[in-house]
Amino acid sequence: PKLNSKLFKAFKCEIIKICRCKLTYVAAGLEGVSGRAALRELSVSNSESFWAAVARHRLCWSTPFHTVQDCDLSRGKIKWFEGGKLNVSVNCLDRHVHTCPERVALIWERDERGSEMKYTYGELLEMTCRLGNLLRRHGVKRGDCVTIYMPTCPLAVASMLACARIGAAHNVVFAGFSADALAERIRDAQSSTVITVNQGVRGGKVTELKKTVDTAMQSCPTVKQVFVAMRTDNPVTMTARDIAMEEEMLKEDVVCEPAVMNSEDVLFLLYTSGSTGKPKGLVHTQAGYLLYAALTHRYVFSYHDGDVFGCVADIGWITGHSYVVYGPLANGATTVLFESTPIYPDPGRYWDMVERLKINQFYGAPTAIRLLLKYGDQWVNKYDRSTLKTLGSVGEPINTEAWEWYHRVVGDGRCPVVDTWWQTETGGICIAPRPSDPDAEIVPGMAMRPFFGINPVLMDTEGEVLTSNNTSGALCMAQPWPGMARTIHNNHQRFIDTYFQPYPGYFFTGDGAYRSEEGYYQITGRLDDVINVSGHRIGTAEIEDVVNQCPAVAESAVVGYTHSIKGQGVYAFVVLKKGIDVQEADLSRQLNGMVSEKIAKYASPDFIQFAKRLPKTRSGKIMRRVLRKVVESDLEGLGDLSTLDDPAAVQEIIQGHEKLLSKNRS
Ligand code: WTA
């Protein structure tokens, strides 16, 4: 499409500004276009030129791309920068080693306070190369998938980058997941290689990660080798399959030829929960993902050369991928690897770290902010936080009280707080208050403004686009962007059905949103059966599947409820089989144990209510809407119960709920 020439000039200037990060380039062309908002408009209306310019300047290509994009949302087809060849690890390491080998790439904030370790870009490249060579020597090839089950640590980052270097995909599994959950992800990803550590250390507690891998191996016959790094000095039993990672790395060369990858080759899989019992392995590819992570990292957080970026997310989640590893490293930043918890050894941990490491951008989850708020301001005030410039929030809605405290106490009222909305599927931040003009308003608890190239729309229940403001609907994206997921591993049909079929021609996020009078977005929560516990996504169906495996259980229904710290808690309704005679307390304990063992501790129900029956429609569907209202004690909001098979079931559920609450209070 043709642009009017004045706008086009402005557009080009702003792109140069983006690329060179020099404000001096802006001035001239921008008169008549008011800054960032106008640029965003252009990035949407002329998205190809925008992304082409940014991709050329921001990434280092071995062969330039010939086609900017080839996308068809109605078919779930997404391709960016075809014809282009590059290597992600070269973009994250080698190019910075050339310009500043001594710059610190990683600061590993180990669990033991005050024992942080720094790694320069030169050192990280060396580690990555040795590991890349080691993997290659052990037969890992381009296109293979390596599962990484490690806590956040330098060798985990090097493992991810080593995969990228040799053209293998990685599949990082959060180290809090159980053996069963790990095994399911290894099998689905068809990994024959796993990388782990002997033990993990978090909050002063040791976790037996290698043992968990050993257990998982019993149901993963295709795994041929397990590399074991040593996080602690405690030896673990090694089998014929296991390889001592550090020892073997020492034997490898420090130079590792990077694989030349196509833009659309797979970079990684990352499993996340959906509304069915089976987690989905979302696939991200090389160039588009890296570009989007890098650009959002730079602009949403106002990252500048030399800043220390502190994202406290675990590398097992997408936030760790995009804003601990790929975004910051692509930008040559110093990135913090946080291994501990917000309250270990005391609730001053984050702010002590900010002072010690001189962190400039701090990015964390609302659940931690809510927890720390309860411990009081003194834990924050004790430490010097004057290096902080931007505060970020991610993963779940941030309530106004937490937002205000973050802004007023942590940031001394001087740092913009960016509430960033995005998903595993989007690859990077899609809606956030920044970038915007420096003095543009930020409304507490609102993600507000779409990023460059992002075109959100709200849909009504009929599937029509809502055009007015001050309105709510299902949040969709009307245009593709380079960071979005490309498919679900081995299940493209599920990818289409989940994201593109509900609103043909649009990407459906699964979230609802409100658009204010001013046109700002606020996320209102999931529209499907996915809940968010301490910022961790979990499908209620996944938990039900585990509960239903208990021989005493006839059926169950799991719903989320508002929890003052975790955001949402897990509430399970359980119906026992006829004639079962057990102590409810014993069975509760057993069910909690099963969920921890089959999924992860955070998925374990906070409440288990035993019921004689569940409210169902005449066609036999459990009325979750009703259950959700009951656990939120919103009896006024129960709504139309006329479709219920037996309305008396609701009364029983309400009474049972009250009984459980009062038992809990006493
Ligand atoms: C929720 C995490 C409100 C949302 C990056 C989304 C949010 C899901 C926000 C994705 C936010 C994420 N405000 N809700 N700022 N950020 N969410 O894949 O429901 O672990 O769909 O990615 O978290 O979770 P995921």
296 Cβ closer than 6 Å to some ligand 1 atom: no
**Other CB atoms within 10 A of residue 444 CB:** 16
What is the residue with the minimal CA distance to atom 7 of ligand 1? Answer: 396
At residue 640 the predicted structure's pLDDT band, cuts being 50, 70 and 90, is confident
Q: Is the CB of 154 under 6 A from ligand 1?
A: no
Which residue has the least CA distance to atom 14 on ligand 1? Answer: 396
Q: Over 70: is that where the pLDDT of 201 sits?
A: yes
Task: Classify residue 27 as exposed, middle or buried by CB count within 10 Å of its CB (0-12, 13-18, 19+).
Answer: exposed
Q: Do 360 and 389 contact (CB within 8 A), yes or no? A: yes
Residue by residue, what is the 3-state secondary structure of 40-79?
Answer: HHHHHHCHHHHHHHHHHHHCCCCECCCEEECCEHHHCECC
Average pLDDT over residues 272-289: 94
417, 442 contact by CB (below 8 A) = yes
Q: From ligand 1's centre to the CA of 533, what distance in Å?
A: 11
Residues in contact with 101: Cβ distance below 8 Å, sequence separation at least 6, in sequence order: 120, 121, 122
Per-residue pLDDT tens digits for 361-394? 999 999 999 999 999 999 999 999 999 999 999 9
Greater model confidence, 388 or 21:
388
Atom of ligand 1 nearest to the CA of 536: 20
Q: How far apart are the C-alpha atoms of 151 and 149, rounded to whole Å?
A: 7
Ligand 1: centre distance to CA 317 (Å): 11
Q: Which letter does DSSP use for residue 105 in this model? A: E
**Ligand 1 atom closest to Cα of 317?**
20
Q: Indicate the top mutation candidate among 273, 419, 422, 477 to test ligand 1's pocket, ranked by most ligand atoms within 8 A of CB.
A: 422
Q: Is the pLDDT of residue 6 over 80?
A: no
The ligand 1 atom nearest the CA atom of 530: 19
Q: Does the beta carbon of 421 lie inside 6 Å of ligand 1?
A: yes
Q: How far apart are CA 213 and CA 196, in angstroms?
A: 8
Task: Give 99-133 pLDDT, tens digit per residue.
Answer: 999 999 999 999 999 999 999 999 999 999 999 99
Predicted confidence (pLDDT) per residue in 412-460, tens digit? 999 999 999 999 999 999 999 999 988 899 999 999 999 999 999 999 9
Q: Which atom of ligand 1 is nearest to the CA of 393?
A: 15
- Give 448's DSSP letter: B
Distance, CA of 157 to CA of 139 (rounded, Å) = 21
Distance 536 CA to ligand 1 centre (A): 9
Distance 448 CA to ligand 1 centre (A): 14
pLDDT band at 26 (very low <50, low <70, confident <90, very high): very low
Kindly report, residue by residue over 283-337, the tens digit of the pLDDT.
999 999 999 999 999 999 999 999 999 999 999 999 999 999 999 999 999 999 9
Question: pLDDT tens, 124-155?
Answer: 999 999 999 999 999 999 999 999 999 999 99
Q: Assess whether pLDDT exceeds 60 at residue 34.
A: no
Instruction: Establish whether residue 397 lines the binding site of ligand 1, counting it when its CB lies within 6 angstroms of any ligand atom.
Output: yes
- Position 33 confidence tier, pLDDT thresholds 50, 70, 90: very low
Predicted TM-score of the model (pTM)? 0.93
| Confidence grade of residue 32 (pLDDT, cut at 50, 70, 90) | very low
Whose Cα sits closest to atom 12 in ligand 1?
A: 395
| Sheet of 308-311, strands arranged across | 117-120, 104-109, 334-338, 308-311, 361-364, 390-394, 417-420
Mutate to test the pocket of ligand 1, among 292, 323, 419, 423 (most ligand atoms within 8 A of CB): 423
CA dihedral 184, 186, 190, 196 (to 10 degrees): -170
Q: Which atom of ligand 1 is nearest to the CA of 510?
A: 21
Q: Which atom of ligand 1 is nearest to the CA of 419?
A: 15
pLDDT for res 22 = 32
- Does 15 have pLDDT greater than 60? no
